[in-house]
Structure 1
Amino acid sequence: MPQSSNNLQAKAPDGGFGIYVHWPFCAAKCPYCDFNSHVRHHAIDQDRYVRAFQRELAHFAEMTGNRTVDSIFFGGGTPSLMEPATVGRILDSIAGHWSMDANAEISMEANPSSVEADRFRGYRSAGVNRMSLGVQSLHDRDLKLLGRLHDAETALKAIDTARSTFPRLSFDLIYARPDQTLDSWRQELEQAIALAADHLSLYQLTIEEGTPFFALHQAGKLKVPDADFGAEFYALTQQVTEAHGLPAYEVSNHAKPGAECRHNLVYWRYGDYVGVGPGAHGRISVGATKRATAIERYPETWLENVDTHGHGMVENTGLSEEELGDEYLLMGLRLLEGVDLARYEALAHRSVDPKRLSDLLEHGMVERLGDNRVRATREGFFVLDAVVADLAA
C-alpha cells in the first residue's frame, strides 16, 4: 500500500544529501554551452562572493536542519577559476552548518588549462578529493571547433597532474562531433580509458537553442550526425567502455565499480540537495514537503539579493505527489540500477499501472530487477521521456 505523505521525510534521504555550489564565471563561453555561465573582463571580487555563499548556505541550513552531507560539488561555469582559499572558506562554511560524512565526496569541475592545473594541489589541500576535467576532446581540431581554450597536449598534462593529486579523477568527452567517424571515436575513447581515469562522462553533442552552434546549425553551416548515426555512436560507446571495465551506470556516465560519482547519484536516486550560487537548483525536504528551489541566474543581481534577503532564491515551491513521482522516475530510470516501485508509490501516492508496465516489458523498453524494481533497457534509454510518461500515466 502507498505510504502516508507524513513518511516523506523518512523517504527523502534515501538518495543521500548533497550540496551543489555554482561558480558562474568562465574565461570564455563555449559555442555549444547553454549553462548559466558568464564572462567578465575584470577581476572578480572573490571575497565578496565567498561572503554571499556563506550567507546563502546559512539560510539553507536553517531550512533543512542538521543533515549529514554525503557529497559536495563545485560546478559552473569554471570553478577552477576560484582561488583555493575561496574553495576552502566555502567548505569550512558547509562543515560549520551540517554534519559531514567521514567519507564525503568533494568534487570540483576544472578546465585543463596549465594555469588552473597549477592550482590543483591547493584545491586538494582545501579538501577537494575528486577532480572532474572538462577535456571534451583529445584532438586539437575538434577542441578548436568546440571553442575550448586548451589543446590536447595541455589536456594530457592536466590529466596527469590531476591523477597524481586527487584520489579520484573523472573527465568529460563529447562525441558525435561534426565530421567525426566511428573509428576515430573508438580510438579516442580507448586512448581516454588508457589514461587511467576511474570515471568518464561521455556526452553526445546536442544543439541547444540560444547557443552559437544553434544559429550555425539553423543556417546549415554546422552539420552533426543524424539520430540514427548518433545511436551508432552511443552503441559503440557502450561496447568499448564495457569491454574495458567502465560500464555505464547512468545514460552518459561510466565508472569502474565503486567509482561512481556520489554527488550525481544523489540527483538520480532522488535524494535531497541544496543548490547555492547563481542559477543553482535544489530539492530539499522541509518537514513533510519536498521543495524545488532555484536561485537568481545573473551573478550581480544574485549578490544584491543575498545582501538584501540573505539568499538569492527566486523559486521555493512545494512539489505535489504527482510531481514527486514523475521526478523520481525521470531521474531514477537514467540509472542502471533502475527504480524501486515501492518508493514510487510512497512518493506519488499511486501505483504504476500494471497494464502499462506490462506493455513496456513486452516491447523491451524496461526490464525487471527482482519483484519490485525496474530499469530502462538500452532501447528504452533512447525514448526515456516516453517511457517515463507511460509509467507515470
Structure 2
Amino acid sequence: MRERDLLAEAEPAAAGTPDVGFGVYVHWPFCARKCPYCDFNSHVRPKGIDEAGYLAAMQREIAAHARLTPGRTVTSVFLGGGTPSLMQPQSVGRLLELIGSHWQMSADAEITLEANPSSVEADRFRGYRAAGVNRLSLGVQALDEDALRFLGRLHNAGEALRALELARTTFPRLSFDLIYARPGQSLAAWEAELRRAIGFAADHLSLYQLTIEPDTAFEKLQAAGKLTIPDADAAADLYELTRAITGEAGLPAYEISNHAAPGGESRHNLLYWRYGEYVGLGPGAHGRIVLGDDRARLATVAERNPEAWMQRIAEVGNGVIETEEIVGETAGDEMLLMGLRLVEGIDVARYRRLAGRGFDPERVSDLVAHGMVEVLPDGRIRTTPAGAFVLDAVVADLAA
C-alpha cells in the first residue's frame, strides 16, 4: 500500500506571519560522534554520509513545503544538526540555492550554520561564507580541558579558541555555546570560564545548563549513581551569576539561555519564540505552517531516520510522517510556552486572539505577588528571572 502524502492533504494558505517573519530550518542529522548529553536527532555513519542523496531528497522536500507557503519572504535560514559543518560548502550553497528558487529571500536574511570547532571544519569557514552563510553558531561547550573530555567533545580548548578567532574574521555575526552547571562546578570556576569566554564573544552567546535527557549516555550514568549534577539551588545560583556577568558585559539575556548585544539577537530563534511561521526540512525536523490566518497552524513532523526519510521522499515526495492542526487554546499554549522565554514577554491581545480567551486576572495577580511574572506598562506579560527559572510551572498556571 502506498504511503499517504500528508502535505498533499493540506491546502496552501497565503497568510503567514509577515509581522514576525518566515523561517526555514534545515536539519543535517549527522555527527562524527554522539555526545553523551545529547538527545537531538543525530546519527553517526562510520561508512560515510550520502551527501548527494541527502541533497536530492531535500530538493523534493523543499518543493513540497513551498507549495503550502506561497508568496512568503524568507527572513531567516538555520542549518542545524547534528553537525552541519560536516557538509561540504558546495552542499550548503546548493541548499541555499534551492531555498531561494522556491521562496523570495529577504535582502537581509539571516543565514546561520551550526559548526563544531575541529580544525578540519574550521578550514571550511571561508567556503561557507562564500556560499551565503552570514552567521555562525559554534558549539564550543566549554573552555576547560577536563570539561570538554567529560562532555565528549572532539576538540580541545585551543582548537575552540582558534576556531573562534577564524570565525570572527570570516562571518559578520558569530555566536557560540557553553554548557554550565556541570558536576562539581563552583560559582568561582564558572565565573572565571564565563568571563574568559566573553573576551572572545562577538554579539551573541548561548549559555545552557546541563540537563540529563532521556535515552542519553549521561542518563545511564546518573541512574548508575556515577553522575551527579548541581541541585536546583546551586543551579539557580549559577543562573543568576550568568545573567549578572553577561548583563555587566553588554550581552544581557534576551531569552532564558541566550544573551546578545542590542541588535545581535538570533532572528531565527526569535521567530520561534515570537510564534512565527517556519518550515522544518530534513530528518526529524518540525515545522509550523499557518493555515488560513494567524490563528491556526499545521504542525509537521518528519521521519527521524535519515535513510528512512530519504526512502519516504522517494515514495511520497516529502519526509513528513505526522501532521496536526494547532488551533484555539492549543495554539495559545504554544505561544505562551515560547513567548514567556523572552525578556520582552508576550502580547496579551495576540494571545487572546489565538487562544480565544484571556488570562484569569486572579492567577496573573497571584503570579505577580509571588514575583514570578510582571505586567509591563504596555500590557505585555513577562516572567521575572525567578519565574523564568521555573517556566513550565508559570505556563501551566497561566494556561489553566
State how far apart, in whole Å, the 2-side matches of 1:14 and 1:332 are: 15
User: In structure 2, the residue corresponding to 1:229 is in which secondary structure?
Assistant: helix
Is contact 1:321–1:349 with CA below 8 Å preserved after alignment?
yes
Deviation at 1:392, TM superposition (A): 1.4
1:59 match: 64
Deviation at 1:12, TM superposition (A): 3.7
> What is the number of equivalent residue pairs in this alignment?
386
1:112-151 aligned within 5 A: 112-151=117-156
Q: 1:294 is matched with which residue: 297, 301, 322? A: 301
Q: Which blocks of at least 5 consecutive residues in structure 2 are unaligned? A: 1-12
Q: 1:366 is matched with which residue: 373, 376, 379? A: 373
State how far apart, in whole Å, the 2-side matches of 1:144 and 1:363 are: 41
Q: 1:297 to 1:116 in 2, by over 3 A?
A: same
State how far apart, in whole Å, the 1-side matches of 2:18 and 2:363 are: 29
Q: Which amino acid aligns with 1:202?
A: L
User: What whole-Å deviation, never above 9, does each CA across 1:237-284 have from its counterpart, x for those lacking one?
Assistant: 011001100000000000000000000000000000100000100111
Identity of aligned residues (%): 63
State how far apart, in whole Å, the 1-side matches of 2:394 and 2:167 are: 39
2:3 match: none
Q: 1:101 is matched with which residue: 103, 106, 121? A: 106
Deviation at 1:15, TM superposition (A): 2.5
Deviation at 1:306, TM superposition (A): 0.6
Is contact 2:16–2:72 with CA below 8 Å preserved after alignment?
no
State how far apart, in whole Å, the 2-side matches of 1:383 and 1:183 are: 24
State how far apart, in whole Å, the 2-side matches of 1:37 and 1:203 are: 19
Q: Which amino acid aligns with 1:357?
A: V
1:377 match: 384
Deviation at 1:128, TM superposition (A): 0.2
User: What whole-Å deviation, never above 9, does each CA across 1:94-121 have from its counterpart, x for those lacking one?
Assistant: 0011111111000000000000000000
1:313 and 2:320 aligned: yes
State how far apart, in whole Å, the 2-side matches of 1:382 and 1:170 are: 23
Deviation at 1:370, TM superposition (A): 1.8
2:36 match: 31
Is contact 1:66–1:97 with CA below 8 Å preserved after alignment?
no
State how far apart, in whole Å, the 2-side matches of 1:260 and 1:176 are: 24
Is contact 1:14–1:269 with CA below 8 Å preserved after alignment?
no
Deviation at 1:89, TM superposition (A): 0.5
User: In structure 2, the residue corresponding to 1:26 is in which secondary structure?
Assistant: coil
State how far apart, in whole Å, the 1-side matches of 2:52 and 2:28 are: 13
1:346 match: 353
Deviation at 1:316, TM superposition (A): 1.5
Deviation at 1:10, TM superposition (A): 5.5
1:334 match: 341
Q: Which amino acid aligns with 2:317?
A: G
State how far apart, in whole Å, the 1-side matches of 2:398 and 2:253 are: 23
2:266 match: 261
User: What whole-Å deviation, never above 9, does each CA across 1:81-101 have from its counterpart, x for those lacking one?
Assistant: 000010000100000111111
Is contact 1:172–1:201 with CA below 8 Å preserved after alignment?
yes
2:9 match: none
1:89 match: 94
User: In structure 2, the residue corresponding to 1:25 is in which secondary structure?
Assistant: coil
User: What whole-Å deviation, never above 9, does each CA across 1:148-184 have from its counterpart, x for those lacking one?
Assistant: 0000000000001100000000000000111211111
1:75 and 2:46 aligned: no
Deviation at 1:352, TM superposition (A): 1.1
State how far apart, in whole Å, the 2-side matches of 1:180 and 1:386 are: 27
State how far apart, in whole Å, the 2-side matches of 1:383 and 1:149 are: 33
Q: Which amino acid aligns with 2:40?
A: F
Q: 1:123 to 1:209 in 2, by over 3 A?
A: same
1:176 and 2:181 aligned: yes
Deviation at 1:48, TM superposition (A): 1.3
State how far apart, in whole Å, the 2-side matches of 1:95 and 1:63 are: 16
Deviation at 1:196, TM superposition (A): 3.1
Higher mean alpha-carbon deviation, 315-324 vs 142-151, is at: 315-324
Higher mean alpha-carbon deviation, 285-294 vs 230-239, is at: 285-294
1:219 match: 224
State how far apart, in whole Å, the 2-side matches of 1:387 and 1:285 are: 27
Deviating above 2 A after TM superposition, structure 1's stretches of 4 or more consecutive aligned residues are: 8-15, 286-289
1:200 match: 205
User: In structure 2, the residue corresponding to 1:54 is in which secondary structure?
Assistant: helix
Deviation at 1:25, TM superposition (A): 0.2
User: In structure 2, the residue corresponding to 1:197 is in which secondary structure?
Assistant: coil
Deviation at 1:9, TM superposition (A): 7.2
1:4 match: none
1:388 and 2:389 aligned: no
Q: Which blocks of at least 5 consecutive residues in structure 1 are unaligned? A: 1-7
Deviation at 1:11, TM superposition (A): 7.6
Q: Which amino acid aligns with 1:360?
A: L
State how far apart, in whole Å, the 1-side matches of 2:238 and 2:111 are: 31
State how far apart, in whole Å, the 1-side matches of 2:27 and 2:173 are: 21
**RMSD after superposition:** 1.2
Is contact 2:16–2:277 with CA below 8 Å preserved after alignment?
no
Deviation at 1:14, TM superposition (A): 3.4
Structure-2-length-normalised TM-score? 0.95
Deviation at 1:53, TM superposition (A): 0.8
Is contact 1:278–1:295 with CA below 8 Å preserved after alignment?
yes
